[in-house]
Amino acid sequence: METTKKTVNGVSVCPTGEERYEYFTPAFARRTKKWFCQYDYRHTDGELFSCVAPTLEECRRKRDEWLNKKINK
């Protein structure tokens, strides 16, 4: 997947059943040049999962935990 702009006017443009992510450096970490991943996943039922973590892999792990909780309700 290619990194794209994730929002339009502050609203996620993540399509149903897909993920979107982009890396950024927050203001508090600019001196250390530390990168974070902003991640969105829109479930097939339309619910949006969003998180920030140091890596894409960590974001996907958090998404998988969220999906498992959602499925096992």
- Give a yes or no: residue 4 inside a domain: no
Please give the Cα distance from 57 to 73 (Å, whole number).
25
Overall domain count for the chain: 1
Cα distances from 55 to residues 21, 35, 45, 49, 73, in angstroms, run 10, 8, 26, 16, 28
Range of the domain at 37: 13-71
Helix (H, G, I), strand (E, B) or coil at 1: coil
- Give a yes or no: residue 7 inside a domain: no
- Give a yes or no: residue 66 inside a domain: yes
| pTM for the predicted model, two decimal places | 0.78
Per-residue pLDDT of the chain (73 residues; tens, 9 = 90+): 444 556 565 567 788 989 999 998 877 767 777 889 999 999 999 999 999 999 999 999 999 999 999 888 7
Dihedral angle of Cα 55, 61, 1, 10, to the nearest 10 degrees: -80
- Give a yes or no: residue 65 inside a domain: yes
